[in-house]
Structure 1
Amino acid sequence: MAELAVTAVGADRPGIVAAVAEVLRERGGNVEDSAMTILGGHFAIVLIVASEDEPDDLRDALLAATSQLGLTVSVSRADGSRGAIEPTHLLSVYGADQPGILAGVSRALADVGANVTDLETRVLGADTEPVYAMVVEVVCEAGDALAAGLDTVCEQLGVDHTLRTIDAQTY
């Protein structure tokens, strides 16, 4: 079976997960990895599916079954490494909301070779004083360089951050 990457995005409403999952079941697909979330009133799904389908055939079946839900669907080949990626660090960033926080922090991570394995952001608080919050899991062997790079960029951005190592045995 080939691995396919399936994404679906649309206005949040009940039944999206059920509709996608039912198509996959009917076509003999197996969901091997997934992430699903609501972002700004839109529901987003990212799946890795083991399937005998060709990407275009699965996409067409998903579009037909979800036409009433108004989803944007894509399906592509995802054959690749199946090894689990275990994060080594957890980064939290908080500060006054402003453009450029994600760009600055992600550049600092990339500059030391850190691989982002999970990232979530939210704007919290009142509209008059919004606070940007970001939580990032990363894999990085250059812990000292990572800490130094984050200290620099977070100071430049005027945001607070916490970086901690993740002990794989207690995570």
Structure 2
Amino acid sequence: MNHLIISFISPDRPGLVDTLANIVRQHQGNWQTSSLHHLSGFFSGVIEIAIDEAQSDNLIDQLQSIPNFKCHIESASPNETENTADIVLELTANDRSGIIQEISSVIHHQGGNLLKLVSSHDSAPHSGQTLFKAKATIAVANNTVDALIDGLEALADDLMVDISR
């Protein structure tokens, strides 16, 4: 079984996900994992498809023929499980330039691997100040979880970190 990772961007329009799902089904593929988003009039995402190698080239050709649909496709092997813990962080702070870099640097220097990051900006309820909010899933060696959490909490006084394991 071949695994294809498809990243794409397209002007948003009704039926785009249906089109993608139909192409996958027509080629006997199995839609594994995805993250799809509407961003400023565009629709973008990443999809993992499991598909028989004999069908891969036809599926790729059909995806690349969709009008106004830009995609990049890579063949991959599913990851084997390692001796790591997946932790989920919910982060809230006053928004500032460089906050993603600060967070990702701590994760990197503690040996963590950022698996998923979803971020947004919201207004604080009473002050109207812009807040940065993020939810991150991180794979980290079991023996470095505490150091990672300590490093994140030391970034700034206004950074709130909620952790679940």
TM range (shorter): 0.7 to 0.9
Residue in 2 that maps onto 1:124: 122
Q: Which runs of 5+ in 2 are unaligned?
A: none
What is the root-mean-square deviation of aligned Cα atoms in Å?
A: 2.6
The amino acid across from 1:148 in the alignment is D
Q: Which runs of 4+ in 1 moved over 4 A?
A: 53-57, 82-87
Question: In structure 2, what is the Cα distance between the partners aligned to 1:161 and 1:85?
Answer: 28
Residue in 1 that maps onto 2:62: 61
More strand by share: 2
After superposition, the C-alpha distances for 1:113-143 in whole angstroms (9 at most, x for unaligned) are 11222211001128x7321111112222212
Which secondary structure does the structure 1 equivalent of 2:120 belong to? strand
TM-score, normalised to structure 2's length? 0.82
Q: 1:89 to 1:82 in 2, by over 3 A?
A: closer
Q: 1:143 to 1:79 in 2, by over 3 A?
A: closer
Question: Aligned residue pairs: how many?
Answer: 159
After superposition, the C-alpha distances for 1:32-86 in whole angstroms (9 at most, x for unaligned) are 222222234322221111222576643321132x21xx22111111124254998
Q: 1:116 to 1:22 in 2, by over 3 A?
A: same
The amino acid across from 1:58 in the alignment is L
Q: Which moved more, 1:139-148 or 1:35-44?
A: 35-44
Q: 1:36 to 1:85 in 2, by over 3 A?
A: farther
Which secondary structure does the structure 1 equivalent of 2:77 belong to? coil
Question: In structure 2, what is the Cα distance between the partners aligned to 1:9 and 1:87?
Answer: 32
TM-score, normalised to structure 1's length? 0.79
> Residues 85 and 117 of structure 1 are in contact (CA less than 8 Å); yes or no, is this contact kept in structure 2?
no
Tell me the percent identity: 23
Question: In structure 1, what is the Cα distance between the partners aligned to 2:69 and 2:83?
Answer: 30
User: Residue 49 in 1 paired to residue 49 in 2?
Assistant: yes
Q: 1:39 to 1:3 in 2, by over 3 A?
A: same
> Residues 38 and 44 of structure 1 are in contact (CA less than 8 Å); yes or no, is this contact kept in structure 2?
yes
Which secondary structure does the structure 1 equivalent of 2:103 belong to? helix
Which secondary structure does the structure 1 equivalent of 2:154 belong to? helix
Matching residue within 149, 154, 161 for 2:151 = 149
Q: Which runs of 5+ in 1 are unaligned?
A: 167-171
User: Residue 106 in 1 paired to residue 107 in 2?
Assistant: no
> Residues 2 and 56 of structure 2 are in contact (CA less than 8 Å); yes or no, is this contact kept in structure 1?
no
Which secondary structure does the structure 2 equivalent of 1:14 belong to? coil
